Structure 1
Amino acid sequence: MKKKTIEVILTKDIEKVGKQGTLIKVRPGYIRNYLIPLKLGKVATPNLISQFNLQQKELKLKQIELIERCTNTKTLLENLGKFTIKKKISKNGIFFGKITKKQVLELIENKIELDIALNKNQLQLPEMKQLGDYSIEIVLTSDIIAKINLEILPE
């Protein structure tokens, strides 16, 4: 006996099922009892499928443009060289206070103007307690990660 499935276009992201705009096949009960009442999906009609295909093409173009801008930003950041921060230090070489993501963002924004707006959630800072050189990663997309060097010097 063949199990009947129906094509559905998801209107919102559903964990372990798919992302928004994905075309999937599911059982009729799942659509009737879960997807439609919670407005998470629509039954795929020929008209909706054609709209879906147009939206997918637009999304691919936007994604290609975003990847291009991110790679340009990555090359700009990596070609800048070192960023320096001056801190007061104690007798044993440990500096006072801490270096925040906001400070690093301000350093980057003061040095160059980027195509993409960065936020502090994209920065991955190592633990910095002493003077020296540190490598900071900036996650532009899941695939594109820029690495910059930060040097901490005494005042």
Structure 2
Amino acid sequence: MRKKTIKVILTKDVQKLGKQGTLIKVKPGYIRNYLIPLKLAEIATTSLINQFALKQKESEIKQIQFTKKCITNKELLENLEKFTIRKKISENGVFFGKVTKKQILDLIIEKVDLTIDLNKNQLELPEMKQLGNYIIEINLTTNVIAKINIEILPE
């Protein structure tokens, strides 16, 4: 006896099945009882497959354009030599307070005119407790990471 499966296109991301727009084969009961009532998938017709193919092409083009913007912003950030932050220090060279992601983000926005918006979740900071040079990584997008130098000096 052959098991019957039906092709569907996912309209939303479904864990363990796939991402939105993916064409998959599933059993009829799973479609009838779970995917269609929760509006997670639609039965694949030729017109629906063509619509999702067009949407995927558009999203791929947008993703490529965004990646190009991120690469140009990476070059802008890495071409600057150093960003400096001034802090009050104690007698043993340890500075008071913390260097926060918001401080670094404000410094980057002030010095560099970026074409994309950055948020503090994209910054990866090393542990900074003493004066010196530190390398900060900025995750602009997947596989595009900019590294900038931050120098902490006494006031």
Question: The TM-score by the shorter chain falls in which range?
Answer: over 0.9
Supply the distance in 1 between the matched residues of 2:102 and 2:5 (Cα, whole angstroms).
Answer: 50
TM-score (norm 1): 0.96
Task: Look up the match of 1:124.
Answer: 124
CA deviations 1:32-82 (Å, max 9, x no partner) are: 111111111111111111101111111111111011111111111111111
Supply the distance in 1 between the matched residues of 2:66 and 2:36 (Cα, whole angstroms).
Answer: 33
Task: Look up the match of 2:90.
Answer: 90
Matched length: 155
Task: Look up the match of 1:81.
Answer: 81
Task: Look up the match of 2:4.
Answer: 4
Following superposition, which runs of at least 4 residues in structure 1 exceed 6 angstroms of deviation?
none
Pair 1:28-2:28 in alignment: yes
Task: Look up the match of 2:40.
Answer: 40
Match of 1:140, SS state, is strand
CA deviations 1:111-132 (Å, max 9, x no partner) are: 0110110011111111111111
Task: Look up the match of 1:145.
Answer: 145
CA deviations 1:85-135 (Å, max 9, x no partner) are: 000001111110001111111000000110110011111111111111111
Task: Look up the match of 1:133.
Answer: 133
Structure 2 runs not aligned, ≥5 long: none
Task: Look up the match of 1:103.
Answer: 103
Match of 1:47, SS state, is helix
Task: Look up the match of 1:57.
Answer: 57
Supply the distance in 2 between the matched residues of 1:81 and 1:24 (Cα, whole angstroms).
Answer: 50
Task: Give the fraction of aligned pairs with identical amino acids, expressed as a percent.
Answer: 70
Match of 2:53, SS state, is helix
Q: Identify which range, 108-117 or 27-36, moves more after superposition.
A: 27-36
Match of 1:105, SS state, is helix
TM-score (norm 2): 0.96
Task: Look up the match of 1:69.
Answer: 69
Supply the distance in 1 between the matched residues of 2:147 and 2:15 (Cα, whole angstroms).
Answer: 31
Supply the distance in 2 between the matched residues of 1:76 and 1:89 (Cα, whole angstroms).
Answer: 31
Match of 1:20, SS state, is coil
